Amino acid sequence: MTQQPPTQPHGSSVRLARLYNEHRAAVIAYCMRRAGREDALDATAETFAVALRRIDDIPRGEAELSWLYAVAYRVLANQRRGNARMGNLKVKLANTETDVGVDPVDQLIRNEEDQQVVDAMAALKPDDRELLQLVTWEEHPRDQIAAMFDISRSTLDQRIHRALKRLKKTYARMNTSSLTPKAAEGEAR
């Protein structure tokens, strides 16, 4: 006799359906800004699979999306580690279809200065980049970001402040190194 997997209570199914319908687009966008299309779609699916398994642990109200972002963050981190271990990331990226629509980052890049900011962000450590993206790109409330990382609001504010300082230094260093000697002289005057 085979044992049937446990079924979710009806209320849980309804809640998961509502969570999926309300937050799917935000979770996909969150993942797309951090990973390639296929990895982002996989991470989104895994995020909602975790939500199904832990439906009773998900806070209610405005904190739902923060909880989903925290799960997506961890899922994406696991993906990155797995890809690095298997050594197939380059192969997978090379084989990824290029016609996947408009990349969200491309939508943000309107001029050369925007590209320089994106390049400076890419040079940051992953934790700094994640915090700044949550605050700026996701426009997520700081109290909820603090809850995502299980830190106090003041600790979060300090981390964001330090990340911004590092971003400014990186941006300045990248712009200084890209100047020609004559342009650098003009900048110094």
CATH code for position 176: 1.10.10.10
172 and 144 in one domain? Answer: yes
Q: Which long-range contacts (CB under 8 A, 24 or more apart) does 132-136 make?
A: 132/160, 132/163, 132/164, 132/167, 133/33, 133/34, 134/69, 135/160
113 and 59 in one domain? Answer: no
User: Which of 79, 101, 123 represents a domain boundary (last residue)?
Assistant: 101
Higher pLDDT, 170 or 88: 170
Tell me the two tokens of residue 41.
């779609």
- Residue 155 pLDDT grade (very low, low, confident, very high; cuts 50, 70, 90): very high
Tell me phi and psi for residue 160, to 5 degrees: -65, -45
Q: Taking Cα atoms as reference points, which of 69, 75, 55, 67 lies closest to residue 10?
A: 55
Residue 36 domain boundaries? 7-101
Rounded mean pLDDT of 156-177? 89
How many independent structural domains does the chain possess? Answer: 2
75 and 20 in one domain? Answer: yes
174 within domain boundaries? yes
User: Which of 101, 117, 138 represents a domain boundary (last residue)?
Assistant: 101
Least confident of 51-60, 71-80, 92-101, 137-146: 92-101
113 and 90 in one domain? Answer: no
Q: Taking Cα atoms as reference points, which of 54, 12, 47, 11 lies closest to residue 26?
A: 47
User: Which of 64, 85, 101 represents a domain boundary (last residue)?
Assistant: 101
114 and 164 in one domain? Answer: yes
83 and 113 in one domain? Answer: no
1 within domain boundaries? no
Rounded mean pLDDT of 86-109? 57
SS3 content of the chain, % helix, strand, coil (to 5): 75, 0, 25
Q: Taking Cα atoms as reference points, which of 164, 181, 148, 170 lies closest to residue 77?
A: 148
Rg (CA), the chain: 20
Tell which phi-psi region holds residue 61, choosing left (phi > 0), alpha (psi between -120 and 50) or beta.
Answer: left
What CATH number should be reported for the domain holding residue 45?
Answer: 1.10.1740.10
Tell me the two tokens of residue 187.
């900048």
- Residue 180 pLDDT grade (very low, low, confident, very high; cuts 50, 70, 90): very low
38 within domain boundaries? yes
- Residue 61 pLDDT grade (very low, low, confident, very high; cuts 50, 70, 90): confident
Q: Count the neighbouring beta carbons within 10 Å of the beta carbon of residue 103.
A: 13
Rounded mean pLDDT of 61-89? 84
131 and 91 in one domain? Answer: no
Dihedral sign of CA atoms 118, 119, 125, 126 in order: positive
141 and 59 in one domain? Answer: no
Q: If you ran DSSP here, which 8-state letter would residue 2 be given?
A: P
2 within domain boundaries? no
115 and 88 in one domain? Answer: no
120 and 74 in one domain? Answer: no
57 and 17 in one domain? Answer: yes
Q: What percentage of the chain carries pLDDT values higher than 70?
A: 73
pLDDT for 16-49, tens place per residue?
899 999 999 999 999 998 888 999 999 999 999 9
